Structure 1
Amino acid sequence: MDIKQVCVKAGEASIRMAELDGAAKNTALSAIADALLENKNKLVAANNEDMKRSREEKLAEPLLKRLKFDEKKIEDVVEGIRSLMSLEEPVGRTLLSTMLDDGLELYKVTCPIGVIGIIFESRPDALVQISTLCLKSGNSVLLKGGREARETNRALTEIIEGASIAAGLPEGWITLLESRDDVNEMLKMDEYIDLVIPRGSNEFVRYIMENSKIPVMGHADGICHVYVDKDADLTMAEKITVDSKTQYVAVCNATETLLVHEAVAGKFLPALKEEFDRRQVEIHGDEGTRKIIAVKAAHETDWSTEYLDYTISIKLVRDADEAIEHINTYGSGHTDSIVTSNKLTAVRFMNLVDSGNVFWNASTRFSDGFKYGFGAEVGISTSKLHARGPVGLDGLLSYKYMLIGNGHIVDDYANNRKSFKHLGLKKQIGDL
């Protein structure tokens, strides 16, 4: 594969993608949804081949769960596409309009980023979410999935590409990269690629940043926390904790560390342990925890470990401030939740925890683009620039300033023949 030619073609396609209207993009999305359902047997067969090979290669159980792409998963991604179609057209929205002077109007308008390279893990559903979000936002996309999902990703890309081009999209808007060499070559293409989004560990994201001049939107580890405060409803806290940990363990928004106020630990932990035992959750606890329930000893490394499995670490804290300090020290800036009936404590927690998603009395599993109503997501950004939290359509857009005048020149203002008024307008660029 000639990566430079792929990038050139993607760049050319991105210009045509940027001029597509909402109806054209929704037509393509509808065609993709229909094609996925029509080819579900082909997709399941390809996935079975990946699953068989990965089991033979002793792939870890959490990764096997991510890899599975059955009829239910196909129905889920199609539902996500239908949801995406219902969203407002994101490109060409006016974010700001100002009358600089009589007849001189400035508009800040959303536009696609251009060409995006996305490297993601062994989840075939991520390929569908990423590609359709890029389509809706008017971007070309280069995709590199995990080796484990090779056959499934090939089948998905073939179906998506075929259906979308038949519906009027330009050739080259979507390309599947398959080897590490392809990725390494892609990272050199800063002349052609506008953004790289790596989904993976901190080490992986750091490697991408250190080996490319292309801007990177990092999606690092999901070391998420639930903090059970002294003023928590303990029945609610148990329900939220169990859901946060076990509803689906192999995802980045599953809770990995539970922090419990020492004032309620004696009552809360025994009941929680019974519930975790029923679900075969292994608990690693600090010294205070082990005085209350019989569990394995937690070590320093546990506080910064993303288990992605039926394992959780538990630590007792003196107060909310200690919980906040622990999260900001060991967390990955992903998702953290407090369970409490005290509004002041909750607000302080949400203001001071330095994460992209902070919750009050809710499971960390809600941290998701589809659940937020974004249609889907390309990942959870733990960065603070450009996009943070679940990255949906807004995170795949940039903006440009459009200035409309009538023979205006700067010299008139420099020599005080005219002066700026800077008055806000209630106009959209589409009103012109």
Structure 2
Amino acid sequence: MDIKQICVNAGDAAVKMAALDSETKNNALARIALALIENKDRITAANNDDLKRSEEEQLASPLLKRLKFDEKKINDAVEGIKSLIGLEEPVGKTLLSTMLDDGLELYKVTCPIGVIGIIFESRPDALVQISTLCLKSGNSVLLKGGREARETNRVLADIIEEASVAAGLPKGWISLLESRDDVNEMLKMDEYIDLLIPRGSNQFVRYIMDNSRIPVMGHADGICHVYVDSCADVDMAVRVTVDSKTQYVAVCNAAETLLVNEAVAGRFLPALKKEFDKKNVEIFGDEGTRGIIAAKPASEADWATEYLDYTISVKLVADVDEAIKHINTYGSGHTDSIVTSDRANALKFMNLVDSGNVFWNASTRFSDGFKYGFGAEVGISTSKLHARGPVGLDGLTSYKYKLIGDGHTVEDYAANKKSFKHIKLDKTI
């Protein structure tokens, strides 16, 4: 089946998906969760094949870490689905209701986007998160995974499709695309695909953004910062920094640059270096940093580098204003955190740093849809339109205006026979 026909089928299914009730969708999610557990040996066997082949092909270490989909990750995916089931129905919510005039009522109501195309690299767990979020939000989904996860993705897509169709979902609501040519063809399907969400490297996401007329939601970089303020508790700052950098290095919300106030650097950096050495973290530092701890010289390029590995760049700054300026210059608008006991500095940082996620005394690793209580996420958006930060159910819905009248015509208002009242209502359609 060619991509155009797959897109047509997805569009037909999307119409039916938009009309599904919560019970049907949640039942389908429950069946998918059960099927993943029942087929975990089949999934891990396929994933082992992908890992072996990718190691032989010398796939980059960060991508190999993302590729691994073992029993723990399967269980995590299932927990995400269970959380998703418990979330409020996202479709059909009344966001606004206004009486324009007697007998003329306007409603703003959430609805699915339609057909969503997801292009992602390496992470099979992304396939599960994305497809189940699209299901709950009433969207059809076209999935294009990287060839490195080919076998795992095939098994997961088959399991999800079989379980969901058995629960009453329309055939064609989920499709897996596999060839490299499929990507370029997919990018041309602006007549059929309503939204593209790419997940992968900076180069990969930029390519998608530059080569399609379909709206794109996502982020090209994950250059996240931790700023240790002059009023930071040193022990807390070490904990937050180590977690931000090393809890899982191959993800977009891991810290890549550390900014340290000059006033606390002498006490903080040696304590941090001791913990980083235990985890074999490579440090690139500016001149001030290298005057306190052993580090390799940092270049201008390091401030704009997403390492996705046990590597971090460190720079000393004079105050919170310099930290904010650095982040807004080199950051990617993803996630940035300040560690301080000074409320004024914290609020200034969170108000002025131009990122989708800004934290105070917390690890950057918290910027995640599951941790936020969204059930899961289709990705992180650094855009300021439609959705920003971790994109969960709300980011996969749009809205429409529904107007209910009783033979009302505009001419009556143009001729001043009637006038608008615009009274806010507390009711749903």
Judge same fold: TM > 0.5, yes or no.
yes
SS in 1 for 2:225: strand
Partner of 2:365: 365
Q: Does 1:289 align with 2:289?
A: yes
* Aligned equivalent of 2:7: 7
Residue 68 of structure 1 aligns with an amino acid whose one-letter code is K
How do 1:238-317 and structure 2 match up within 5 A?
A: 238-317=238-317
1:212 offset after TM fit, Å?
1.2
SS of residue in 2 equivalent to 1:314: strand
Could you tell me which residue of structure 1 aligns to residue 123 of structure 2? 123
CA contact (8 A) 2:226 2:338 kept: yes
Tell me the amino acid that sits aligned with residue 349 of structure 1.
F
Alignment deviations for residues 60-80 of structure 1 (CA, whole Å, 9 cap, x no partner): 222111111111111110000
CA distance in structure 1 between the partners assigned to 2:427 and 2:189 by the alignment: 39
- Quick check: 1:218–1:382 contact (8 Å CA) kept in 2? yes
What's the secondary structure of 2:412's corresponding residue? helix
CA shift, 1:204, in A, is 2.5
Q: Distance in 2 between matches of 1:311 and 1:208?
A: 27
Question: 1:178 corresponds to which residue?
Answer: 178
Q: Which runs of structure 1 show a deviation greater than 4 angstroms over 4 or more consecutive aligned residues?
A: none
Cα displacement (A) at 1:274 = 0.5
Which residue is equivalent to 2:413?
413
Contact 2:206 2:220 in 1 (8 A): no
* 1:393 equivalent in structure 2: 393
> 2:87 corresponds to which residue?
87
User: Which residues of 2 match residues 28-427 of structure 1 at below 5 A?
Assistant: 28-427=28-427
The DSSP-based 3-state class of the residue aligned with 1:249 is coil
**Cα distance in structure 2, aligned partners of 1:334 and 1:265:** 25
Taking the aligned partners of 2:331 and 2:162, their CA distance within structure 1 comes to 42
- Residue 103 (structure 1) shift: 0.6
SS of residue paired to 1:385: coil
Q: Secondary structure at the match of 2:106?
A: strand
Map Cα deviations across residues 344-374 of structure 1 (whole Å, 9 max, x no partner): 1111100110100000000000000000000
Percent pairwise identity: 81
Report the counterpart of residue 16 of structure 1 in structure 2: 16
SS at match of 1:427: coil
Deviates more, 1:56-65 or 1:415-424: 56-65
Q: Which moved more, 1:62-71 or 1:151-160?
A: 62-71
Separation (CA, whole Å) in 1 of partners of 2:384 and 2:180: 28
- Which amino acid in the other structure matches residue 98 of structure 2? T
Asked whether the equivalents of residues 197 and 219 of structure 1 are also in contact (C-alpha less than 8 Å), the reply is no
Q: Using the TM superposition, name which of 55-64 and 124-133 deviates more.
A: 55-64
Determine the C-alpha separation between the residues in 2 that align with 1:37 and 1:182.
Answer: 30
Check the 8 A contact 2:199/2:379 in 1, yes or no.
yes
Instruction: For residues 373-429 of structure 1, give each alpha carbon's deviation from its aligned partner in whole angstroms, at most 9, with x where no partner exists.
Output: 000000000111110000000000000000001111111100011000000000012
SS in structure 2 of the partner of residue 358 of structure 1: strand
Residue in 1 aligned with 2:25?
A: 25
Preserved CA contact (<8 Å) 2:282 2:310: yes
CA contact (8 A) 1:220 1:381 kept: no
Q: Give 1:181 deviation, angstroms.
A: 0.7
CA distance in 2, matches of 1:200, 1:55: 19
Quote how far apart the aligned CAs of 1:294 are: 1.1
- The Cα RMSD (Å) is 0.7
More displaced stretch, 60-69 vs 274-283: 60-69
- 1:179 to partner: Cα distance: 1.4
Matches of 2:54 and 2:209, distance apart in 1: 29
Aligned residues: 429
- On the 8 A contact 2:17/2:169 being kept in 1, the answer is yes
Give ranges in structure 1 of 5+ residues lacking alignment.
Answer: none
Question: Secondary structure at 2:37's aligned position in 1?
Answer: helix
Residue 221 of structure 1 deviates from its aligned partner by 1.0
Q: Distance in 1 between matches of 2:105 and 2:261?
A: 56
Give the Cα separation in 2 of the matches to 1:155 and 1:393. 25
Q: Distance in 2 between matches of 1:129 and 1:226?
A: 28
Residue 109 of structure 1 aligns to a residue whose secondary structure is strand
- CA deviations on 1:182-232 (whole Å, 9 max, x unpaired) are 111111111111001111233322322221111111322110000000011
